[in-house]
Amino acid sequence: MTKKGTILIIDDEEDILYSLKFLLKQHFSSVFTDTNPYQIPRLLRQHEPDIVLLDMNFGKGRDSGSEGLEWLKKIKTLSPSTPVITMTAYSDVGIAVEALKSGAQDFVEKPWRNEKMLATIQNVFKAATSEQKVDKLQKTQQAINAAINQPFTEIVGQSAEMQKVYTTIEKVARTDAHILLLGENGTGKELIARALHKQSMRTDKVFIPVDLGAIPETLFEAELFGHKKGAFTGAHQDRIGRFEAATGGTLFLDEIGNLSLAAQSKLLHALQTYEIIPVGSNKPIKVDIRLICATNMPLRQMVHENRFRQDLLYRINTVEIQLPPLRNRMDDIAPLAQHYLKMYRKKYQKGALELSMGAIKKLQSYEWPGNVRELKHIMERTVIMCDKNQIASDDIILTASRPSAIPAMQKAATIEEMEEQLIRGVMKKHDGNITKAASELGLTRTSLYRRLEKYGI
C-alpha cells in the first residue's frame, strides 16, 4: 500500500509525540514532531505538512487553551490552506468550539482511542486532498477565462451559417439548459461549448471537457463519478470524478454517441437525480453542473435502432445547435486560413509569410472532409514547409486530393458513410499506421480504434 501525506505534530509531552508518531507512520509517508510551538513557522516552511496536529495547552498546569488558540491562528495566517486538528486533555467543549471557529478542521480528546484518532486524521486528509484538486482546477480555469475577454474568441467566421450559431449561443448561454452540439468531426464543437460556458452565469467556474470515446467501458463510472480507495485493482486512493470536479461549472461530454447502453443508463440516472455515487461507496454526492454534450453521430436514427436511449436524448437536448460543415461556409475559408497563417508564422518565426490569391482559391475549391480541423492541420504543415515569403497554390498539399465537384452519390451520403470513407482513405495513406492516422484525423488512438471496429476496417 502506498503511503501518502505529511503530518506535523506539536505537543509539549515527549511520550505523546512518540506514541502518535509510532501510530501514524504506519499510515502516512512522513511524520514530524516537536515539543516547542515556537518552531511552528520554521516547520511549516521546511516540511509543508498536509495536516498539523496541535496541542491546545503547553506547560504544566495550563488548561485554558489560549496558547493553542494563538498558535492555531498563527498557522492559519502562515498557511491558510493547511488543515489543523486540535488536541486537548480536558474535554473542554468550549475550547474545541473556539478552535473550530478559529479555523480548525476537527479536534480529538486526550486520552484518545487509536481508531478514532486515525479516522479523524484520514477524513481531514481526504477532504483536504479533494478540495486541493478542485481548487487547482478552478484556478486553472480562472486563468484561462481571464485571457478570454472577447465573445467567441478563436471562433472565426462571419458566414450566414455561423451567424445563426452565434445567435443561438447568445439566446441560451445564460440559461442552465442542457445543450446538444451536432456536427461532423472537426467543426469546432468543443470551441462552441467553451463559448457557451464563457457567456454563461458559470463563467468564473470550471469547464471540464470529457472525451467519452477515449474512456474504456470498464472505467466509465470511475472516471465520471469517482471511486474510493480499494474499489478495484489499481484504486490506491480516493479520486473525485468529472461530475464532482465540474460542480458549479460546466461539464462537456464529447462523443456521447459512443456510449454503450449500459453506460447511457448510468449517465441518465446521474442527470435525473443530480447525484453520483463513487465506485466503492454507498453514499450519494450532490452535484450542480451545466451539461453540454456533442456528437457527430445520428442520435435519432440510433434511437430507432435501439442503440441510444430515447429518454437520455430528451434529457441532453433541451436545445440543439447544428454546426455547419466547412464546405457549407465557404465565405469563412479565407478568414480561417489567414487566422491560422498568423498563428503558425508566429509560432515558427516566419513573420513575412503571406498567402497568395492562388493559394486562397485552391483552399476554397476543396471540400474539406475534415472541416476546420483539417484546414488548421494543412495550414500548419504549409507554414512549416514553405521556404518563400509567399505561399503559392502548389505549396498547399490537400489531404484527400479531391475537388469540390464530388459525385452525386457521395453528396447524398450520410455523415457516418462520409466518416467511414475518410477513415479508410487516411488509413490507406498511412499503410494502417494507427498513430499517424489518428493524428491526421484529429482523434485519439482509442477513438480511432472504436471507429475501425464500428466500420469493420
Helices (H), 173-298: 189-198, 220-225, 242-245, 261-273
Angle at 47 between CA 143 and CA 1, to 5 degrees: 90
- C-alpha cell belonging to residue 59: 506547560
Burial 386-410 (b: 16+ CB within 10 A, else e): beeeebeeebbeebbeeeeeeeeee
Residue 455: its pLDDT value, please?
Answer: 79
Residue 292: its pLDDT value, please?
Answer: 97
For residue 126, is it left (φ>0), alpha (ψ between -120 and 50) or beta?
alpha
Phi, psi of 401 (to 5 degrees): 50, 50
Residue 412: its pLDDT value, please?
Answer: 43
Residue 343: its pLDDT value, please?
Answer: 92
CA distance linking residue 207 with residue 203, whole number of Å: 8
Residue 230: its pLDDT value, please?
Answer: 82
- C-alpha cell belonging to residue 226: 469517482
Cβ distance 173 to 199 under 8 Å?
Answer: yes
Burial 44-65 (b: 16+ CB within 10 A, else e): beeeebbbbbbbbbbeeeeeeb
Cβ distance 84 to 76 under 8 Å?
Answer: yes
Dmax (CA) for the chain in angstroms is: 95
- Whether the link from the prior residue into 111 is cis, omega within 30° of 0, is yes
- Give the residue from 222, 209, 225 showing the smallest Cα distance to 276: 225
Please state the pTM of the whole predicted model.
0.57
Residues forming beta bridges with residue 86, ordered by sequence position: 54, 107
pLDDT in tens, the chain (457 residues): 557 889 999 998 899 999 999 999 999 999 999 999 999 999 998 998 999 999 988 877 677 788 889 999 999 999 888 999 998 765 566 787 888 888 899 988 888 889 989 999 999 998 887 776 666 566 555 544 544 444 445 688 889 999 999 999 999 999 999 999 999 999 999 999 999 999 999 999 999 999 998 898 889 999 999 998 888 887 778 888 999 999 999 999 999 999 999 999 999 999 999 999 999 888 899 999 999 999 999 999 999 999 999 999 999 999 999 999 999 999 999 999 999 999 999 999 988 899 999 999 999 999 999 999 999 999 999 999 998 999 999 999 986 544 443 433 344 456 677 788 888 888 888 888 888 888 888 778 777 877 887 877 8
- C-alpha cell belonging to residue 197: 460556458
Query: In angstroms, how far is the first alpha carbon of the chain from the final one?
Result: 43
Phi, psi of 52 (to 5 degrees): -110, 130
388-412 pLDDT per residue, tens: 999 999 999 986 544 443 433 344 4
Domains and CATH numbers, the chain: 6-128 (3.40.50.2300), 148-322 (3.40.50.300), 328-404 (1.10.8.60), 406-457 (1.10.10.60)
Residues forming beta bridges with residue 292, ordered by sequence position: 179, 252
Residue 139: its pLDDT value, please?
Answer: 55
Instruction: Return the DSSP state at 18.
Output: H
User: What does each C-alpha distance from 442 to 114, 216, 343, 385 come to in angstroms?
Assistant: 54, 19, 18, 20
